C-alpha cells in the first residue's frame, strides 16, 4: 500500500498490526472502514464455521456455524477486527440466542448497514441443535442475497 492508504487506515487497531483477541465481547473493538461503493447496493457475507462460546450454566464449550449477511451503507466491517471480536466469545458464557443476536446488534451499531441478517447454526448438545436467526428487516429489493445453505443437523457434523 502507498503511504496515502496507510494514513487512511492508521486509526485502525487491528488492520496491519499484531493483535490478540479481547478477553470478552464487551472489551472487543469492532472496526469499520469506508465503503468504496457507497450508493451501490450489494451483499457481503462472512462465514464463521468454528465459532465457540461457553454454556453459562455448565461452562462447557458450545460450537456454531455463523453466517452473517449484510448490505453495506457507508461502512464495511474490517474483517480482522470481526475475527478478533468473534474470538472474544471463546471464554464468554451466554446462551446461543444471546450470542447470535448480540453479534448482529454489535455489527449494526458499528456499521448502520442498510440490512443485516445473522444465522447461528449451533451444533447439538444433548441431541438438540438450536438455530437462531435475526435480521434488521426486509432485504432490499434487487440485491441478490443467497440462501445461507447450512446443512441440517445430520449434515453438520
| pLDDT tens-digit readout, 99-124 | 999 999 999 999 999 999 999 999 98
Instruction: Work out the mean pLDDT of the chain and round it to a whole number.
Output: 89
Which entry of 55, 98, 112, 131 is annotated as an active-site residue?
55
Rg (CA), the chain: 16
Does residue 98 have an active-site annotation? no
Alpha helices in the chain (DSSP H): 3-8, 79-87, 96-111, 153-156
- The more confidently predicted of residues 21 and 14 is 21
7, 62, 69, 98: the active-site residue: 62
User: Does 11 qualify as catalytic in the annotation?
Assistant: no
> pLDDT tens for residues 51-110?
999 999 999 999 999 999 999 999 999 999 999 999 999 999 999 999 999 999 999 999
Distance of CA 94 to the CA centre of its chain: 16
| Dist. CA 128–CA 26, nearest whole Å | 29
Q: Which of 98, 103, 135 is nearest to 30 (CA)?
A: 103
CATH of the domain at 141: 3.30.1130.10
- How many angstroms separate the CA atoms of 85 and 137, rounded? 24
Number of domains in the chain: 1
pLDDT at 1: 39
The confidence score (pLDDT) of residue 34 equals: 97
Residue 121: give the domain boundaries.
Answer: 3-156
The set of cell numbers assigned to 1 is 500500500
Amino acid at each position: 500500500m502507498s503511504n496515502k492508504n496507510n494514513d487512511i487506515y492508521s486509526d485502525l487497531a487491528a488492520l496491519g498490526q499484531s493483535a490478540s483477541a479481547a478477553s470478552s465481547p464487551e472489551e472487543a473493538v469492532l472496526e469499520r472502514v469506508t465503503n468504496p461503493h457507497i450508493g451501490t447496493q450489494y451483499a457481503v457475507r462472512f462465514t464463521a464455521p468454528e465459532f465457540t462460546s461457553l454454556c453459562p450454566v455448565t461452562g462447557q464449550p458450545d460450537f456454531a456455524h455463523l453466517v452473517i449477511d449484510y448490505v453495506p451503507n457507508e461502512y464495511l466491517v474490517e474483517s480482522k477486527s470481526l475475527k478478533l471480536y468473534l474470538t472474544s466469545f471463546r471464554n464468554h458464557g451466554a446462551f446461543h440466542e444471546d450470542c447470535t443476536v448480540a453479534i448482529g446488534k454489535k455489527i449494526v451499531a458499528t456499521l448502520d448497514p442498510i440490512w443485516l441478517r445473522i444465522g447461528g447454526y449451533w451444533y447439538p448438545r444433548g441431541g438438540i441443535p438450536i438455530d437462531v436467526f435475526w435480521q434488521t428487516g426486509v432485504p432490499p429489493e434487487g440485491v441478490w442475497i443467497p440462501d445461507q445453505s447450512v446443512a441440517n443437523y445430520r449434515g453438520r457434523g
